[in-house]
Structure 1
Amino acid sequence: MLPYKSLFLINKNLKTPVYQQITNQFTSLIRNGTLKSGQKILSSRVLSEVLGVHRKTVIMALDELLTQGWLETKQGSGTFVAKSLPEIKPQKLKESENISIKKAGFSFEQKPILCREVVKASDKLHLDDGFPDPRLAPLLDLARAYRGNLIHGNSYVKLGYGDTKGSYWLRQELATYLNESRGLKITPENVLIVRGTMMGMYLLTTAFVKANDYVVLSEMTWASAKINFQHAGANILTIPTDENGIVVDALEELCEKYLIRLIYVTSHHDYPTTVTLKADRRIKLLKLAEKYRFIVFEDDYDYDFHYQSKPLLPLASADEVGVVLYSGSFTKSISPAFRVGYLIAPEEVIEHLSYYRRIIDRQGDVMLENAIAELLHEGIIQKHLRKSLREYRERRDFFCELLSQKLKNEVSFQIPEGGMSVWTTFDKSIDLVKTAENALKNGLYFSNGIQHNLPNNTINATRLGFASSSVAELEKCVEVLKKSILNI
């Protein structure tokens, strides 16, 4: 006779129903070999007395175990552990039965390029990669719009499966907004709603980039973009960046040697340096794309925040042959938490990409997409962007003045024409990695800049984001940064 009373631990204060606790513990005892195939189980009456629970509760548990195939009954003989179960050898219990499984029971290839630390938001001081300040976002308006779209209208349509290309209302509003603000000439059929630029890039590489295709990036580029193309098996070629953006003449030289499939560009505010690609280079880039028939993936991650006169129109606005895929998102406009972005491309490209989108993410958050569409329609997002632009310009000016005053011997930089961060080069005598570590201990986060280094060339520079911190917070950030600097 098994000591049932010591094997079963019933806790009536748990949210898990008692019958389910009994069921779960029975299956555990069978799995670990304590209860063996063919072994007889106590009757429901005896078991209820032993466990101190109502007989109906035990009957519910036994019925569940019978239904799942763990137990079987023999008329006139009682209930037994199912004989059809494979023989299980008893295993030694470790310190706890609830230890999580760490190692997979199958083999798989782990790509080192995908193993990166995930940067998470914290309540520390931060000079981040160039993120917006969620405190400025129109959250009350967004909540109102989301709630309204959730409870009004035909619930079967709104809460059911939708278009894999995204909310048609949002695509309409985006087409109007982008035509007015960026000089595009598009319809809703040129718009694919995605979770963000990362998702758009993954769809792009899956659909259009094959192993051994040649992809061109700037020497210092967004790491996530590079990883996407490496994951696709592309051959990566690089071109330099100067004060006028990517060197397009270097791209032309590559076109004469290789069959280029795609170039990834951040033309408005180069990543990471924030410089703007000048007009003559834009024209030449489009001509090269037309001549050599390669894709231009234009990542316009913070178009709305340009402080020197009016922002330059994107490459997509001058694309007459359909070579530019234009990407943007509301991550920088509102907050990274709201995963709504868009890809703009010729209609047949959008149709093609929607097939791929369907197999990884059937559709996005239709309620959120419709809420953003409502705010665009009402002009609330446009108003928010104008207000944020003024605020971020003030923060940029204040932060740059602080750097000039407090760290004039330690750093050098150019005041950015736009964007949310300052590309900052530290004096060679400063160990940037150790300084970042020291700053974190003192309550300030900023990137150590390792990802921007070139082969055999330590840039010793990083992006210091100013937009997500108030003026008072920026002042504290610079104080901590100054105290944290460590010379080699």
Structure 2
Amino acid sequence: MNSPVEIPYQSFITIDRSSEVSVYMQISNQLINAIQRGFLPFGTKLPGTRTLSMVLKVHRNTIVSVYDELLAQGWVESFPNKGTFVIGKDQNKPVQIEKIKKNSLENYPGTTGFSFKTSNILDNPFEHSSCEYIFNDGIPDIRLTQVDQYSRIYTSILKRKAHKIGQYNQDGSEFFKQHLAQYLNLSRGLPISKNNLLITRSTEMSMYIVSEVLLSEGDTVLVGELSYFSVNMIFQRKGVTINSVSMDEDGIKVDEVRKICEKQDIRMLYITPHHHYPTTVALSAKRRLELLKLAQEYGFIILEDDYDYDFHYDKSPILPLASADTKGMVIYIGSFGKSLVPGFRTGFIVAPENVMAEMRKYLGIIDRQGDILMEHVLGEMIAEGEINRYLKKSLKIYKERRDHFSYLLKEYLHEYIDFKIPSGGLAIWTEWKVPVNLMKLSRKCIQDNLFIPKTLLYQNRNLTAMRLGFGNLGFNEMEKAIEILSENVKSSSK
């Protein structure tokens, strides 16, 4: 047993007098940590309260409180006229006290003591930068949202109706689902009820639930020749085979889908028909009907993602495939409130009731708590027409930004790129007419304070393209960003 005076308590007990945690609790926690890690093994006698108070330079009453805390938690036992001793299981080879100097009790383990399965499929593809100018794949500008107004609605409901909302409910707010069903009926022609809705936190969560319920390892899923990387990651994690289908100006080639179906079983087709990601091409009405017939004929699921459905400028959007589905072949997923601040957004799944019952089981595992209060806020925003008013106002701004961004691309880069002005969405698909290494171009732009993430770059033997988002940029910002891009393209071409 080591003598109390031999233990270098100052080497592993530090006191932060600016901390909100009381001094006696700081000392108690660090002593407990030392006991748990074997630095103070079974039978170690702790110094007297006066001695330890002098060593740590604190009041004796503080050490009295420390020992009382250790005694109350069962880490030590005290004997009259003998002292205070560490209790616990005896150790055959107690840790040598001198090792305390070489080890910090505050260090958390750098690695696990067990093995586990790792995978690079779900590696985070998103990058971040401190550059002043940033291109993204087409996200709204949260600076346009009336945060104060939404906060007042939230606070008002919290005061008026929080007591009526009830306990946690994985099925979500019935009030919100009822109004969302009506909203989707009016805006997308979906003849659904609240029983056909599952409320999620995001499109990615919706995709995960759908893949867990409807896909099995070895299934074949069809996607566009270029497709949404996050969705592909979820499919790959499930262990399915992903086959790509060619695209043209009318969207995915249905004849090619038919030829694949004639040769093998297809479980699912994933599409973003309103504005295909990443090319922004809209699937024609004729091909939508042909796909529905094919799904019925060959029995595959159509997973329809309504990506960017709310953002259309020149004409009313073509109604979703789900609006014409009479045989239950389409699962429809989307996001609500994408143009609002992140905390006010949510995802949803629309599906027949029988599969919806199974999906609710999975939602109950990964999101049992839900966010009933926020959903109630969104429900009131729909009921009061606030969502429609905001969309109408923001669409005018985004249309102006799309037109100005298109003008800038033509003005600065007409020699280098081809593009079509999209009828909606918040990004423009650009294909390069000259040979250029996009990764090198991106790195050069960073030096001039413009960040272009690798997820926007599409380059292979047959294609060199970028998806450039404009929704988050004001006129001055997009002018500066395009100017930087243009200058670096020209210098690279010399």
TM tier relative to shorter chain: over 0.9
CA separation in 2, counterparts of 1:266 and 1:260? 18
**1:403-422 Cα shifts (integer Å, max 9, x gaps):** 11111111111111211100
**1:20-47 Cα shifts (integer Å, max 9, x gaps):** 1111221233345442221111233543
Q: Secondary structure at the match of 1:114?
A: coil
Q: 1:72 maps to which residue?
A: 77
Structure 1 position 36 matched with structure 2 position 41: yes
Match of residue 140, structure 2, among 125, 132, 144: 132
Match of residue 254, structure 2, among 248, 264, 267: 248
Query: Which segment drifts farther, 341-350 or 238-247?
Result: 341-350
Q: 1:133 to 1:115 in 2, by over 3 A?
A: same
Aligned-pair RMSD on alpha carbons?
2.3
Q: 1:106 maps to which residue?
A: 114
Q: 1:307 maps to which residue?
A: 313
Q: 1:396 maps to which residue?
A: 402
Q: CA deviation at 1:213?
A: 1.0
Ranges in structure 1 where 5+ consecutive residues have no aligned partner: none
Q: CA deviation at 1:350?
A: 2.0
Q: Secondary structure at the match of 2:308?
A: coil
Q: 1:14 maps to which residue?
A: 19
Match of residue 127, structure 2, among 119, 122, 139: 119
TM-score normalised to structure 2 length? 0.92
Structure 1 position 220 matched with structure 2 position 226: yes
Q: Is the 8 A contact 2:136 2:456 kept in 1?
A: no
Match of residue 161, structure 1, among 168, 175, 178: 168
Q: 1:480 maps to which residue?
A: 484
2:305 maps to a residue whose letter is D
Q: CA deviation at 1:100?
A: 4.3
Q: 2:356 maps to which residue?
A: 350
Q: Secondary structure at the match of 1:305?
A: coil
Q: CA deviation at 1:258?
A: 2.0
Q: How does 1:48-87 map to 2 (within 5 A)?
A: 48-74=53-79, 77-84=82-89, 86=91, 87=93
TM-score normalised to structure 1 length? 0.93
Query: Which segment drifts farther, 296-305 or 40-49?
Result: 40-49
Q: Secondary structure at the match of 1:297?
A: strand
1:273 maps to a residue whose letter is T
**Aligned positions, number:** 484
1:189 maps to a residue whose letter is N
Q: 1:96 to 1:5 in 2, by over 3 A?
A: closer
Q: 1:65 to 1:187 in 2, by over 3 A?
A: same
1:27 maps to a residue whose letter is I
CA separation in 2, counterparts of 1:60 and 1:118? 50
CA separation in 1, counterparts of 2:90 and 2:300? 59
Q: 1:257 to 1:69 in 2, by over 3 A?
A: farther
CA separation in 1, counterparts of 2:455 and 2:365? 36
Q: Secondary structure at the match of 2:493?
A: coil
Q: Is the 8 A contact 1:220 1:453 kept in 2?
A: no
Q: Secondary structure at the match of 1:113?
A: coil
CA separation in 1, counterparts of 2:82 and 2:165? 56
Q: Is the 8 A contact 1:272 1:423 kept in 2?
A: yes
Q: Is the 8 A contact 1:219 1:240 kept in 2?
A: yes
Q: Secondary structure at the match of 2:182?
A: helix
Q: Is the 8 A contact 1:431 1:487 kept in 2?
A: no
Q: CA deviation at 1:88?
A: 4.6
Q: Secondary structure at the match of 1:480?
A: helix
Q: CA deviation at 1:89?
A: 2.8
Share of identical aligned residues, percent? 40
Q: How does 1:268-417 map to 2 (within 5 A)?
A: 268-330=274-336, 332-417=338-423
Q: Secondary structure at the match of 1:6?
A: helix
Q: How does 1:424-439 map to 2 (within 5 A)?
A: 424-439=430-445
CA separation in 2, counterparts of 1:88 and 1:374? 64
CA separation in 2, counterparts of 1:397 and 1:304? 18
